[in-house]
Amino acid sequence: MKKIVLLFFITISLIEFNFAQQKEAGLNIGYGKSAFIYLVAPNYYYQIGVNYFYYPKETPFNLKAELNYDFRGNKNINFNYIKLPLGFDYIKGKKLKFIIGGGFYGSYLFHYKGTENLPGFKESKELFQLGLMGDIGLSFVLSESANMYLSFQVNHDITKMYYHIDPCGYEWDRKGLDVFLKLGSNFNLEKKNNE
For the chain, which residues make up each domain, given as ranges?
2-188
Whether 195 has a pLDDT exceeding 70, the answer reads no
CATH code for residues 2-188: 2.40.160.20
Q: What is the pLDDT of residues 89-133, one digit of tens each?
A: 999 998 999 999 999 999 999 999 988 888 778 888 999 999 999
**SS3 for 136?**
strand
In angstroms, the CA 93 to CA 97 distance is: 4
Pair type for strands 171-174 and 162-165: antiparallel
Q: How confident is the model at residue 193 (pLDDT cuts 50, 70, 90)?
A: very low
* 69-100 confidence digits (pLDDT tens): 999 998 888 999 999 999 999 999 989 999 99
